[in-house]
Structure formats: structure tokens, C-alpha cells
Amino acid sequence: MSRVFVDGDSVKKPANSRKSSPSLSVGRILVYAFLIVVALISLLPFYSMIMSSTHANYAIATQLNLLPGNQFIANYKRLMGTVNIWRGFANDLLVAVSATVLTLYASALTAYGFSKFRFRGSKFLFGFVLASMMVPGQLGIIGFFREMHTLHLLNTYWPLIIPGIASAFNTFFIKQNCDSAVPDELIEAARMDGASEWYIFHRIALPLLRPPMSALGIFSFIGNWNSYMMPLIILFDNNLQTLPVMVAMTQSASSTDYGAQYVGVVISVVPIIIVFSILSRRIIGGLSVGALKG
């Protein structure tokens, strides 16, 4: 520990005031370099997909395309000649937005009930909700199809939207956040002031649950946007099909138009990239809310 003199008095200079060692700077540079390499590796498939949409079928099937071509317009015209891609875009947007809004509201309402109300059998019911997460959804496809056929809901969007009411994971995730993010004292104070339960839920609980609901909303939207199996089973009319199914229609039994498919994939992926780039901070913040109970 060195000494410095101020007005004739010696003052000890703190050891931590020394300049950072070169090894620390080198280590930080190595970390940044590693993260840049990982980011480039992660972005390479998206970049290659965009570049492939500008090449002909032969170039797509035989080589890795890292430079843009001149076949994007031709691929787009062949895609539009096969399917109405923008009609599928609108159909997919309608289903994804409706299902996301419904599942967020229903899951928040259910989670709030499990978190703030004490009633007989609540623990058993919540345990049943958790147990249902272990059952693969594919096991119920046949029963779900027969049920929709009995209700005359086939070839409509309702079977793709209504099941969002019962989302076990969303209910569990929001309930864990509601336990810590919505204080019981605040709810009791609102009840003493004469507020109704619906008012408390909509004006107090929902605003406090906005961060986790934002994160879940992004994941739910992307899951519904990319859904392929259920629309393929439920919808028979090609004009009602969603975007992933329409993109798959470009593949015939004899050949596959890779150029048209890549253009369709690019159109379907661009909204997801925009959502992630704009709302990435909300995803991180929403997942961290409720991690610690104060």
C-alpha cells in the first residue's frame, strides 16, 4: 500500500486504486469474443435461410448460400401461384392473437384464484393442474377431434382458440408470480374500502402481473403462430389454413419447390424476429419477477 502526501500529511493510498491488471482486460476480451462467435453461430441459420430464398432450387439443394441471389421475385411468384400466402398470414395472425389473449386472461384469473383464495380442495386441484403438465398433448388428439366433430366445430377457428383457456403451465407460472408480486395486505385493504373481487383483480392484480404475463404472451403467440399439427387436422378448407400449413402445401408428392418454401418461411419468421427484438427485455424481466420472495 503506497503513501501520498497532501499538505505535508501522509495519506495511505488504497490498494484497489491501482489500475486493472492486463490479465483482466484480456479475459474480458476473450469473453466478448466468445459471445460474438456464439451469436454469429446462432444467427447463421437465419441468415442462410434469407439468402436461400433468393436462389434457385438447384443452388439451394446443392450448396450453402451465404451471398444473395436474384431469384427472390421468381420464388415469390411461384409461391403465390401455389397458395395465397398473405391469406394464410392473416388467418395465422387472427388465431395467434385471439388464442394468446384468451389464454393470458383465463390463466391469470385461474392463477389469482389459486393464489389468493383459500377453499376446500384447492391444493388438490392445483396438484391436478400440475399433473396434467406431464401428459403429452398428442395423446388427446383423437378424442379432441371427435369432440369437435360432435360439437360441429370442425373447419372453424374455435378449436384452435378455445383450448387456450386451460393452460396448465401458464396457470402455474402466473400463480408463482402472483404469490410474491401481489401482496395480501394490498388486497385486504381494497376489500376494506369496499372494492369488489372483480375490481381488485382487474385494477390491482392484473397491473402487478403484467411482467410475467408479457413474457408468457410472447411465448404463447409464437407457439400459436408456429402451430402446424392442429390446424392441419381441424381445418379442411385451404382458404382457412394458417401460414405453416400453407407453406407446407408447396411440397408435392413428386418434387419440392425449395425456393418458394424458403420465401414462405422467411415471411413467417420475420414477425417472430421483430417480436423478439422489440420485447426481449420484457421476456427477461418477466421471467425474473417472482424469483425472490420479499
pLDDT tens column, 71-129: 899 999 988 988 889 999 999 999 999 999 999 999 999 999 999 888 888 889 999 98
Are residue 63 and residue 105 in the same domain, yes or no? Answer: no
Asked which of 71, 103, 137 is the last residue of a domain, the reply is: 71
In a domain, 273, yes or no: no
What pLDDT is stored for residue 160 in this prediction?
93
In a domain, 224, yes or no: yes
How does pLDDT run across 130-175, given as a tens digit for each residue? 898 888 878 888 889 999 999 999 999 999 999 888 889 999 999 9
Q: What is the 3-state secondary structure (H, E, C) of the chain?
A: CCEEEECCEEEECCHHHCCCCHHHHHHHHHHHHHHHHHHHHHHHHHHHHHHHCCCCHHHHHHCCCCCCCCCHHHHHHHHHHHCCHHHHHHHHHHHHHHHHHHHHHHHHHHHHHHHHCCCCCHHHHHHHHHHHCCCCHHHHHHHHHHHHHHCCCCCCCHHHHHHHHCCHHHHHHHHHHHHHHCCHHHHHHHHHCCCCHHHHHHHHHHHHCHHHHHHHHHHHHHHHHCCCHHHHHHCCCHHHCCHHHHHHCCECCCCECHHHHHHHHHHHHHHHHHHHHHHHHHHHHHHHCCCCCC
Given a contact cutoff of 8 angstroms between Cβ atoms, the answer to whether 84 and 239 are in contact is yes
In a domain, 192, yes or no: yes
Cell digits of residue 181: 408480486
CA distance 73 to 211: 41
CA distance 37 to 35: 5
Residues in Cβ contact with 294 at an 8 Å cutoff, skipping those fewer than 6 apart: 180
Given a contact cutoff of 8 angstroms between Cβ atoms, the answer to whether 170 and 216 are in contact is yes
| Predicted confidence band of residue 284 (pLDDT cuts 50, 70, 90) | low
What pLDDT is stored for residue 15 in this prediction?
52
CA distance 15 to 4: 12
What pLDDT is stored for residue 198 in this prediction?
92
In a domain, 114, yes or no: yes
What pLDDT is stored for residue 139 in this prediction?
82
CA distance 83 to 257: 12
Are residue 111 and residue 229 in the same domain, yes or no? Answer: yes
What pLDDT is stored for residue 273 in this prediction?
79
- Average pLDDT in the chain: 84
Residue 256 bridge partners (DSSP): 251
Please tell me the total count of domains within the chain: 2
- Of the listed ranges 184-193, 232-241, 251-260, the least confidently predicted one is 251-260
In a domain, 203, yes or no: yes
Is pLDDT at 294 greater than 50 in this prediction? no
Are residue 202 and residue 57 in the same domain, yes or no? Answer: no
Are residue 110 and residue 228 in the same domain, yes or no? Answer: yes
How does pLDDT run across 167-221, given as a tens digit for each residue? 899 999 999 889 888 888 999 999 998 889 999 999 999 988 888 888 888 889 9
What pLDDT is stored for residue 74 in this prediction?
92
Q: Report the CATH number that the domain containing residue 134 is assigned in CATH.
A: 1.10.3720.10
What pLDDT is stored for residue 293 in this prediction?
46
Handedness of CA 101, 103, 108, 110 (dihedral sign): positive
Are residue 54 and residue 108 in the same domain, yes or no? Answer: no
For residue 251, the one-letter residue type is Q
Are residue 44 and residue 119 in the same domain, yes or no? Answer: no
The proportion of the chain whose per-residue pLDDT surpasses 90, expressed as a percent, equals 33
Asked which of 234, 249, 264 is the last residue of a domain, the reply is: 249
Is pLDDT at 11 greater than 60 in this prediction? no
What pLDDT is stored for residue 145 in this prediction?
92
Are residue 87 and residue 225 in the same domain, yes or no? Answer: yes
- pTM here? 0.80
Range of the domain at 23: 19-71
Are residue 59 and residue 97 in the same domain, yes or no? Answer: no
How does pLDDT run across 27-63, given as a tens digit for each residue? 888 889 999 999 899 888 888 888 999 998 888 888 8
Asked which of 228, 249, 270 is the last residue of a domain, the reply is: 249
Look up cell 500500500; give the residue.
1
Are residue 45 and residue 105 in the same domain, yes or no? Answer: no
CA distance 155 to 236: 6
In a domain, 110, yes or no: yes
Are residue 110 and residue 206 in the same domain, yes or no? Answer: yes
Is pLDDT at 292 greater than 50 in this prediction? no
The proportion of the chain whose per-residue pLDDT surpasses 70, expressed as a percent, equals 85
What pLDDT is stored for residue 24 in this prediction?
56
In a domain, 200, yes or no: yes
In a domain, 119, yes or no: yes
Are residue 67 and residue 88 in the same domain, yes or no? Answer: no
Are residue 88 and residue 232 in the same domain, yes or no? Answer: yes
For residue 224, the one-letter residue type is N
For residue 133, the one-letter residue type is M
